[in-house]
Structure 1
Amino acid sequence: MNQLDFTQAAQSFQPQLYSHALHFTKDEDDAKDLLQETLIKAFRFCDRFDAGTNLKGWLYVIMKNTFYNGVVKTKRKREVISDEDLDSPSLVHSSTANAGEVKFAMEDIAKAMGALRPNYRIAFQRYFEGYKYEEIAHELGIPLGTVKTYIFQARCDLKKYLKMYR
């Protein structure tokens, strides 16, 4: 698909994309900005689009990722602490109290991981380390569906074991 065909096809989805952006942002101006950012990214990376696949779905994924990345950046900006806040006695007390809680939580997580069946634990650890399902299946020599089941079961077992932290 050449650049012109891609541009025309992407622009044909603009009304649907705008509606989707409005659903995410709940604000018309923000929705227009999100739509614009989505289309800019799509045009920039149009060479990564596989012709013959679902362009609308590809654009929706770009929009979703752009929106969530923007939310994360905004959240991080709000979490910035000033120098005065860092010197506050309540923060010092809070951080020492949190260190103890974190230690107990880490111990509980280690116990929960140890309680998993070995095949669940190995698959879950690989997934947590960033391996893809296919890579885990290849490494362990098991079918892809089995890997997905192991990871799902590991999550369920960990949720049960760590329910006190919800």
Structure 2
Amino acid sequence: MGFVLTGYTLKQKLMTQKEFSDCITIHTSSLRLHALNFTRDPEDANDLLQETLLKATRFFSKFEDGTNIKGWLFVIMKNTFINNYRKEQKSRERTVQEAEITSANLHFSATTNDSVGSFAMQDISKALCTLPDKYSVPFIRYFEGYKYHEIADELQIPLGTVKTYIHEARILLKKHLKQYQN
């Protein structure tokens, strides 16, 4: 980046994509620390850092030469974190509304009437048996109180895959247990 003499006028040379990428790479370690301050989790911090760098690269044409690139990257990270947090909050609310299949709710509904509870527990067991192992094992572990990353470590699969499998299990269980939705 600099100035180029063309004829008798001075024109500012715009930063190339490669120069821009090299420039943001310099700030990766400080961005990672900043992400860790937001998330308090190394895996989530790496995800936030990656998303920030992708957005910065995607929108590098919006970056104004001569401005503070580090500050610009930090603002992207802060906004990304806030937006992800809001999405996660909405998703949690939706998940609770969509799939009221928590162990506490199932236990409560199963104990309101012994005969109904017995049928409900049988239906739940049958529904769990219909799930493929790749969905049922992470789902059961999650409701036993294990964290996503603990399940991923135990099953030796990526964290995102664990989240997807649990989500898919909820959808399938919801279909099998329609009569208990109210």
Larger relative strand fraction: 2
Bigger fraction of residues in helix: 1
Report which of the two structures shows the higher radius of gyration computed on alpha carbons.
2
Using structure 1 for the length normalisation, give the TM-score.
0.49
- TM-score, structure 2 as length reference: 0.45
